[in-house]
Amino acid sequence: EIGWKLEDHPKLPKGKVVAVVVLDGWGEASPNPYNCIHVADTPTMDSLKKGVPERWRLVRAHGTAVGLPSDDDMGNSEVGHNALGAGRIYAQGAKLVDSALASGKIYEGEGFKYIKECFEDGTLHLIGLLSDGGVHSRLDQLQSLLKGASEHGAKRIRVHILTDGRDVLDGTSVGFVETLEDDLAKLREKGVDAKIASGGGRMNVTMDRYENDWGVVKRGWDAQVLGEAPYKFRNAVEAVKKLREETKANDQYLPPFVIVDENGMAVGPILDGDAVVTFNFRADRMVMLAKALEYEDFDKFDRVRFPKIHYAGMLQYDGELKLPRYYLVSPPEIERTSGEYLAYNGVRTFACSETVKFGHVTFFWNGNRSGYFNQEMEEYVEIPSDSGITFNVQPKMKALEIAEKARDAILSGKFHEVRVNLPNGDMVGHTGDIEATVVACKTTDDAVKMILDAIEQVSGIYVITADHGNAEDMVKRDKKGEPILDKNGNVQILTSHTLQPVPLAIGGPGLLPGVKFRKDVPDGGLANVAAMVMNLHGFEAPNDYEPTLIEVADN
């Protein structure tokens, strides 16, 4: 029996409007030409930093502070928003898969037994992101799974690769495919019929999220399941090299291709009786494919053929939908999140972002759980994202529309918490387009201003933070921090997130004058924010939450 009732905070009042603003991909770094936040005109965020020193600080947003295997792991939106919403640090997918593989437990679970049932007569298909980015998947985990599956009886294996260039440098896909080909060749020497069967760039093929564009998933389906794609190659290394050259697409956007045999037949369509594993551990960009693979009733695109397969996810991707039913590793059991507590304790919440980040402030915030806790207490608004474009051509995205919705929600008097994600720094940062990212940062700042103005009007409180770094550093650096040049003398553009800490600012007319950041939580991270937000709503956080970051002096 969970006691949902929160204790009253001894000093802080209830009923204030608290705006919680997450700037996606907005880290803190020293000023330099590749720091787009520094280059951009950002008077609002600057004024917070230069304002009351006790109300601005940095928090950790990467590595062990957010449940990742090591402090060499950059932060990401899933783990960042999980931590912000849950107020505790959970060992995350990356780490759970590492231990399940290391101990061999992965091969003893229900999920693996289920796919193993197909090993005698069927093919094992592995679909996922091929890189060592560690955000959605990791190459070494795929390698270990390939080896383990073949040792456990898989005789015919087909890998369907998605090239990255978003969590890792663009152009690295070639090397990852070469490594995978080496491994598959070794398996073939041992008598396992193992090959790459299809591929495509992650943003063009399969890895859409939050139902922004089902066409992306369909392109993957056609290649992976039907064995059909606009490009056919005999070999995957050649496929990636040629497509980069001839279509000028980068790794993220490679078109779909299939690998064919000497007769031009696809080497690995997914057929009745096969087993399929999606080897990404991260949820958001696997949910749509999981639905297509698992749901009998499905109308998002014409699947043409719906093979009878045994399908398992690396993890279960949606705890509420129980999707997929079978999985190799149990996901972190994120429960009793702050959103659920607040709903029980009379705090009315409004959450909003545009499609590409909508699930971040709902699904991830609520512990990878879709839907409302209590619809009477919560309202979630999704603003449709532009689809079919790369966001460097539209760097303002829908930030101002999100801010308008937040403003209206703040002024409506209907909500105590107004939570938004402003996507620009991250989504534009991932394109590697520096000029566009500067525009993205300025727009984010304008949106923050609109929200702060509304908070001013209702005498509310604001909490401004970010989920991880991205736009503050757009260049790959050596150990000394100097930009790395490629063979033509150009800097290597960093499309990925960073290891930087993120800012945390609090304020607003509703914040009692004595409220300031404590000095005794110097290593505080994103998980410490939840307890603080509960305090700002007039409650003490549950005992097992990470400690709050604020104290209230009597003055």
Of 345, 430, 415, 386, give the one whose Cα is nearest residue 170. Answer: 430
The reply to whether 138 sits near ligand 3PG by the rule CB under 6 A is no
The helix (H) or strand (E) run that includes residue 408 is helix 399-412
The pair of three-digit structure tokens given for residue 238, joined into one six-digit string: 């050649």
DSSP assignment letter at 158? E
Residue 77 interacting with ligand 3PG (CB under 6 A): yes
Which position among 70, 77, 198, 338 bears the catalytic label?
77
For residue 538, which phi and psi values (nearest 5 degrees)?
Answer: 95, 15
Q: Give 378's contacts (C-beta < 8 A, 6+ positions apart).
A: 339, 343, 348, 349, 350, 351, 372
Q: How many residues bind Co ion (CB under 5 A)?
A: 1
> Distances from the Cα of 70 to the Cαs of 66, 259, 333, 378, 468, in angstroms?
10, 36, 20, 35, 15
Distance of CA 383 to the CA centre of its chain: 18
Alpha-carbon distance of 490 to 238, in angstroms, equals 25
> Annotated binding residue at 430?
yes
* Residue 477 annotated in ligand binding: no
Q: Which is nearer to ligand 3PG, 202 or 244 (CB)?
A: 202
Q: Contacting ligand 3PG (CB under 6 A), which of 19, 37, 40, 135?
A: 135
* Other Cβ atoms closer than 10 A to 212: 18
Among positions 213, 318, 378, 426, the unique one binding Co ion when judged by CB under 5 A:
426
285 forms part of the interface with ligand 3PG (CB under 6 A): yes
Could you tell me which stretch among 76-84, 234-242, 318-326, 331-339 binds ligand 3PG (CB under 6 A)? Answer: 76-84
Contact between 382 and Co ion per CB under 5 A: no
Beta strands 56-59; 502-507: pairing state: antiparallel
Whether 158 has a binding-site annotation, put simply, is no
Beta bridge partners of 377: none
Query: Tokens 């720094």 label which residue?
Result: 425
The span from the CA of 101 to the CA of 149, in Å, is 11
Rounded CA separation 19/419 (Å): 6
Q: How far is the CB of 430 from ligand 3PG (least distance, A)?
A: 6
Binding flag, residue 166, ligand 3PG (CB under 6 A):
yes
Residue 340 engages ligand 3PG in binding (rule: CB under 6 A):
no
> Which residue shows structure tokens 């943003």?
203
Q: Which residue, 81 or 88, has its beta carbon nearer to Co ion?
A: 81
Q: Is 202 annotated as a binding residue?
A: yes
Q: Strand ranges (DSSP E) for 96-155? A: 124-130
**Which does residue 125 bind out of Co ion, ligand 3PG, none, counting CB within 5 to 8 angstroms by kind?**
none
Whole-angstrom distance, CA of residue 396 vs CA of residue 197: 38
Shortest CA distance to 550 belongs to which of 526, 533, 537, 525? 533
255 binds, among Co ion, ligand 3PG, none (CB under 5 to 8 A by kind): none
Q: How far lies 532's CA from each of 19, 515, 546, in Å?
A: 13, 11, 9
Contact code string over 493-522 relative to ligand 3PG, x by CB under 6 A: ------------------------------
Smallest gap, in angstroms, from Cβ of residue 12 to ligand 3PG?
32
> Which of ligand 3PG, Co ion, none interacts with 135 (beta carbon under 5 to 8 A by kind)?
ligand 3PG
Q: How far apart are CA 98 and CA 115, in angstroms?
A: 20
Q: Rule CB under 6 A: is residue 533 a binding residue for ligand 3PG?
A: no
Q: x/- contact string, 18-37, with ligand 3PG (CB under 6 A)? A: ------xx------------
Closer CB to Co ion, 358 or 462, in the complex: 358
Considering beta carbons, is residue 141 or 470 the nearer one to Co ion? 470
Element (H, E) at 201: strand 193-201
Choose which of 76, 278, 316, 338 interacts with ligand 3PG (CB under 6 A). 76
The yes-or-no answer on residue 77 being catalytic is: yes
State yes or no: 303 annotated in a binding site: no
* Least distance to ligand 3PG, CB of residue 64, Å: 17
Q: Distance between CA atoms of 200 and 322, rounded to whole angstroms?
A: 28
136 is in an annotated binding site: yes
- Tell me the one-letter amino acid at 545: Y
Q: Residue 284 annotated as binding?
A: yes
Number of residues that bind ligand 3PG (CB under 6 A): 12
Binding residues for substrate: 136, 166-167, 202, 209, 282-285, 357
Residues that bind Co ion (CB under 5 A): 426
Query: Residues with catalytic annotation?
Result: 77
Binding residues for Mn(2+): 24, 77, 426, 430, 467-468, 497
Residues that bind ligand 3PG (CB under 6 A): 24-25, 76-78, 135-136, 166-167, 285, 426, 430
Binding residues: 24, 77, 136, 166-167, 202, 209, 282-285, 357, 426, 430, 467-468, 497
